[in-house]
Structure 1
Amino acid sequence: MVRIPALRRMASLLLTPLEPEDVLSLVNPLSSHRQLRGVVTKVTRETPESRTIHFRPGRGWNPHDAGQWARIGVEIDGVRHWRSYSLSAPAGADPAITVTAIGFVSTELVRRTKVGDILFLDVPQGDFVLPQHPRPLLMLTAGSGLTPVMSMIRTLVPRRPDADVVLVHSARTRDDALFHDELLELADQFPGLKVVHWFTREAQGRRLDLTDATDLETVCPDWRGRAAYACGPADFLDAATALWDRAAAEGAAEATTALTIERFAPVLLPGAGGEGGRVTFEKSDKVVDAPGDCTLLDAGEQAGVVMPSGCRMGICRSCLTPLVAGQVRDLRTGEVHGEEGELIQTCINAAAGPVHLDI
């Protein structure tokens, strides 16, 4: 009897320089020991500019928790680009991402993705997840910030008869509102879900004002007693954070630790940009003069350099690039740092004088 390891060695000798998995991937594109992949199984239109892309991951994928995100790679004109997207499917189901056509990669995904396409994947990550113990919840979302919260709602509400969730979602118009009809149907079907749509160009005709508690008191009078989750644009999250901080300072002790936020962009220190400098991309033979508030990642992409990236906000460290010479400024703190050979996060650092990168 021929053992499996012996068969594998024989196959490797016959297929050199290929590996057996390389040939198997021609039959099953999800079979790869080098890179986790997924095949697109369905593409659903959500709004004129948004699509939900469902995919079946290959071996090595870890089931996601509701609210987590994953890095997704897509090849465009022969170049693999990575971006981070929240997973909108409920926990326990095959994953899906809901993408709005903003930015180069997202626009390509919305416009061109079709059933059968292959996505490159990284495992789910993130701590923006449901609390371990049941309690009343308040979800504050704006725009595409609804995506991770939708995963939470789809996971919790149909499965827990004791669910108590208030969702306040801000969008420009009804046509722009992600999952609008599904949310109303869920609210009709499950009494534990209350949905408030806040339309800034219809109905209310203005932005949800979180500079004080007036609007929040109107839509959710018991907001101080709920575990709150917020996701959306930076100014929306900054206002929510400030409101909860004030509530805590005024003696609403339950509001002190009851707000969990998910940001899609790093928190940058105002005025931390400095003077900028000339950035040389050694291996790409590209040079660009970058202002002090421009990240090295953006500077490289604008110069046509294929830059590694993922979350683009200083979390996943996929953008790490060796520094050959010069110093950089962390736009979150204003700190200037850099030594030869240091791995630099290009998504949150800018040039602080002349910089040479090994890419």
Structure 2
Amino acid sequence: MHELEEVKAILSDRISALSESQTIAMAKRARELAAQGYDVINLSFGEPDFQTPQYIKDAAKKAIDDGFTFYTPVAGYPELRQEIANKFKRDNNLDYKPENIVVSTGAKQSIANAVLCLTNPGDEVIIFSPYWVSYEEIVKLAEGVPVPLVGRMENDYKVTAEQLEKAITSDTKVVMYSSPCNPTGAVFTEEELMAIAKVLEKHPQIIVIADEIYEYINFEGKHASMANIDFIRDRVITVNGFSKGYAMTGWRVGYLAAHKDIAAACDKMQSQITSGTCSIAQKAATTALQGGNAASLEMTEAYRRRRNLLLDLMQDIPGFKTYVPAGAFYIFPDVSAYFGKSHEGKTIESALDLSMFLLTDAHVAVVSGEAFGAPQCMRFSYATSDEKLTEALSRIKKSLAKLQ
């Protein structure tokens, strides 16, 4: 057996440069503390606390009984891809054919497929920030150059067209964003996306990756897709999936829709990495779409109530700078007022320090903003019960009062 340092020496530069997902890392630490007998309230999860609707579970059981236990086409079953095309027409007024759609093992794989198919070493990828933790790491894996573009809290963390125009260079290849956004809950309007598209119209070499995984969790009404803008549609890759809207995180089904040549490239990439997504999960996903989005809308109303509850509770915590998220199930307050404060000889130097303090002192798990491109913030998920949110914020308030 090699010594640990010898093993590290043989690992590739690629994996050594890659950061561990901070959301997964915090969830792991929370589980470890809970295993020691502590009552940990976990607000770090980006996962609905609802069960998958029963009709979807029933479809999976039927798929097993019907013998759907074999390899699937790389890009997904034709009937699922057709249902996804139907969904785009129904919900987004977008005309796609099955050939435009690639089903993957989660939206994360869809994003990775797209980035790997588009990015050459040295290509710049502009990422609207704050951003989901994996965006930057996926770009690094493709040997691209991540270029975070920071939206201000005063604008609900949304990047403006003017900011984008200044950030574009001759090396820019991709622009990537999410709406509704993880971690901020920001939602771009049609007018804002149009302004951004008009900037991109002048740069035909740039492709857009629009992550719409939180589409149904939207408190403002109509969801806007950049692919609806005719003059840029063929340069937009729309990513979505079933994990958030249908509470199907463990089923691992995501998809992208794109120009047929880009879709074919993603099919090719996926064929050499994982091949087709699980047959049973695909059958369940097909039934999920056929059942419409009524269950998703019910969950969204619960999230709206929880958002309002958490915002009210945060008003009682000195130093938290908040805003009103328009979608998803996160609040991303600025907590920098606590930097430099101490307790029992330990000084809080960063949001990471503060999140670890809250885990050990209050037994509440949240995620530091560093991994999201916003080191002054922390992400709170409200995908949990009202009772747990109330208790968690009560504990946090007591722990923060100890910092002087």
TM over 0.5: no
Give the structure with higher Rg (CA).
Answer: 1
Larger helix fraction of residues: 2
* TM-score for both structures, normalised by structure 2: 0.28
Larger strand fraction of residues: 1
